[in-house]
Amino acid sequence: MKVAVIDVKGKETGRQVELSDSVFGIEPNDHAIYLDVKQYLANQRQGTHKSKQRAEISGSTRKIKKQKGTGTARAGSIKSGVFKGGGRIFGPQPRDYSFKLNKGQKRLARKSALSQKVAEGTLHVVEDFNFDAPKTKNFIEVLKSLGLNDKKSLFVLGGSNNNVYLSSRNFRGSDVITASELNTYKILHANSVVVLESSLEEIQETLSK
């Protein structure tokens, strides 16, 4: 399929680029998307939550009352979880939330997310641009020209561009990444995806394997 290329002012350049149907035109696979997003969010979790069990808190281990004849349940140490100040019963322990996902599933999820954006008309191809110096004002002007200043957007660069990245860092509604950092969660989280021309070849080459 062919898509028009626009400039940073939101005007058509008169040129078109060919998008691979095998990457940008497939039937989205919802389950692959779910698994990839789930893995991404799981990998963000530190898993450092911890509560103390009865063996880990300070306190006496003396038996607090006799075993029988009290009319109440038997009780041992005051550190038991049934008493105030006692250890936590089945509390959270440090763990690793990450899990394995096949590369084929990840590629399918990314292609599904990109195809979904193309079908919705929220994926735009913009010619490459750069700033002379990192200024948030310059990046906001680009967003206004593209009609994205009040929307969550994702800019995909062909390579590392420090001036563009630093210019966008103070703007909460937009995220700037390189083609190698592209993932399903960020694609779906954005209302609009802006793909620079220089990143198209790498995206299509990576996802066509």
Tell me, what's the pLDDT at 46?
95
> What is the pLDDT of the chain when averaged over all its residues?
92
Contacts 24+ apart (CB under 8 A), 155-161: 155/194, 155/196, 156/182, 156/193, 156/194, 156/195, 156/196, 156/199, 156/203, 157/196, 157/198, 157/199, 158/128, 158/196, 158/197, 158/198, 158/199, 158/201, 158/202, 159/198, 161/130
Q: What is the pLDDT of residues 89-109, one digit of tens each?
A: 999 999 999 999 999 999 999
**pLDDT category, 159, cuts 50, 70, 90?**
confident
Q: Where does the chain hold its CATH 3.40.1370.10 domain(s)?
A: 2-45+98-207
Lowest mean pLDDT among 5-19, 46-60, 94-108: 5-19
Tell me, what's the pLDDT at 111?
96
**pLDDT category, 149, cuts 50, 70, 90?**
confident
Residue 203 has pLDDT above 80, yes or no: yes
Find, among 110, 122, 84, the residue nearest to 186 by Cα. Answer: 110
Mean pLDDT value across residues 51-68: 92
Residue 122 has pLDDT above 90, yes or no: yes
Tell me, what's the pLDDT at 24?
93
**Percent over 90 (pLDDT), the chain:** 78
2-45+98-207 CATH, one of 3.40.50.620, 3.40.1370.10, 1.20.58.2030, 1.10.3720.10: 3.40.1370.10
